[in-house]
């Protein structure tokens, strides 16, 4: 069978599928691997299993080209030297990060990885995960480059933001950075920032924590003003109007979905 330029594991989700579509649209032969057979069949039939602006049209354009290959079989990883892991990283009942999913996925994927592969971690992870993954692969006899390249997209705007937002690339070698940079520059990303894996892991977590705090404090301000019997919109307008240092104060509303809340734990 023909080699694949890359395989995205967890490739039918909100993060993986827009990335797969974008890379295939750039000319890459992309493998989409997912354990959810229903989602694989949905995507194969031209349907995106969630809302994402422009994704379904792009999917239907790409399917006839043969540049998207979909499978539940992890053996497809043996046909590439670039693997992108987009795996959920939940917290347990005690609000601690759970590594069980990563452990299980690595156990399933390692037998199919080639020496010299570039393994990109795309999901938010707890600090030190990249080093742990590299160490586990080495213990299994696989010498691979591990890079942490966190997604930074807003759901619904992924296809646009994948091409326009700066991309962090946390690596321990210049070779790993060069290989990862090629992928993102092919997408059109103008700013690809090299860091260590730990720096990138912390940058992603602290970014989400900061955003969560901004939304939460906005709600706290609303409650304070509301208890005073005043119209918060008038107060907010007084804070922000023509005053650039307060322009980023959000209005009241939802403080977080599952990601921002989880990432502050």
Residue-wise pLDDT tens digits, 139-160: 999 999 999 999 999 989 999 9
74 secondary structure, DSSP code: G
- For 80, the 3-state DSSP assignment is coil
Of 159, 179, 195, which residue is a domain's last?
195
Q: What is the pLDDT at residue 11?
A: 95
- Beta-carbon neighbour count of residue 35 at 10 Å? 13
CA distances from 9 to 12, 83, 176, 228, 261 (A): 8, 7, 19, 52, 24
**What is the model's pTM?**
0.90
Q: Among residues 221, 247, 245, which one has the least CA distance to residue 233?
A: 221
Whether residue 248 is found in the same domain as residue 140: no
Domain that holds residue 171: 6-195
Q: What is the rounded average pLDDT of the residues 197-218?
A: 94
Whether residue 146 is found in the same domain as residue 254: no
Q: What is the pLDDT at residue 256?
A: 60
Q: What is the pLDDT at residue 100?
A: 78
Return the ∠ at Cα 203 (arms to 175 and 171), rounded to 5°.
10
In a domain, 1, yes or no: no
pLDDT tens track for 219-233 = 999 999 999 999 999
Whether residue 107 is found in the same domain as residue 228: no
73 — alpha (psi -120 to 50), left (phi > 0) or beta? beta
Kindly state the percentage of the chain with pLDDT values over 90.
83
CATH for 121? 3.40.50.720
Whether residue 155 is found in the same domain as residue 223: no
CA distances from 129 to 21, 105, 132, 148, 244 (A): 27, 14, 5, 9, 38
Phi, psi of 234 (to 5 degrees): -70, -40
pLDDT tens track for 65-120 = 999 999 999 999 999 999 999 987 766 666 677 777 878 889 999 999 999 999 99
| pLDDT above 90: residue 258 | no
Which residues, other chains included, contact 71 with Cβ-Cβ below 8 Å and sequence gap of 6+? 31, 32, 33, 40
Strands 30-33 and 167-170: unpaired
Q: List the structure tokens of 234.
A: 């008038």
Q: What is the pLDDT at residue 254?
A: 74
In a domain, 124, yes or no: yes
Cα–Cα distance measured from residue 56 to residue 73, given in angstroms and rounded to the nearest whole number = 24
| pLDDT above 70: residue 260 | no
Whether residue 224 is found in the same domain as residue 116: no
| pLDDT above 70: residue 32 | yes
Return the ∠ at Cα 177 (arms to 263 and 163), rounded to 5°.
65
Q: Among residues 119, 106, 117, which one has the least CA distance to residue 74?
A: 106
**Average pLDDT of the residues of the chain:** 92
**Residues of 137-150 as b/e, b for ≥16 C-beta within 10 angstroms?**
beeeebebbbbbbb
Number of domains present in the structure of the chain: 2
């Amino acid at each position: 069978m023909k080699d694949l330029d890359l395989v995205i594991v967890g490739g039918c989700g909100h993060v993986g599928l827009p990335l797969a579509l974008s890379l295939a649209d750039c000319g890459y032969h992309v493998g989409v691997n997912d354990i959810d057979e229903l989602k694989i069949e949905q995507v194969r039939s031209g349907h995106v299993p969630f809302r994402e602006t422009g994704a379904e049209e792009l999917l239907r354009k790409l399917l006839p080209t043969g540049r998207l290959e979909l499978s539940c079989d992890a053996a497809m990883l043996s046909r590439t030297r670039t693997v992108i892991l987009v795996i959920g990283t939940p917290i347990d009942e005690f609000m601690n990060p759970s590594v069980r999913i990563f452990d299980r996925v690595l156990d399933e994927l390692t037998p199919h990885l080639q020496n010299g592969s570039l393994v990109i971690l795309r999901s938010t992870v707890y600090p030190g995960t990249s080093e742990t993954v590299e160490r586990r692969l080495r213990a299994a006899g696989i010498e691979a480059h591990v890079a942490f390249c966190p997604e930074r997209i807003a759901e619904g705007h992924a296809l646009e933001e994948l091409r326009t937002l700066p991309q962090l690339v946390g690596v321990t070698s210049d070779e790993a950075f060069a290989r990862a940079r090629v992928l993102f520059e092919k997408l059109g990303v103008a700013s690809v920032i090299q860091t260590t894996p730990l720096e990138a892991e912390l940058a992603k977590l602290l970014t989400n924590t900061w955003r969560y705090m901004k939304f939460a404090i906005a709600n706290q301000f609303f409650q304070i003003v509301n208890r005073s019997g005043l119209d918060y919109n008038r107060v907010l307008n007084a804070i922000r109007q023509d005053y650039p240092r307060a322009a980023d104060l959000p209005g009241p509303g939802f403080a977080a979905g599952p990601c921002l809340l989880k990432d502050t734990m």
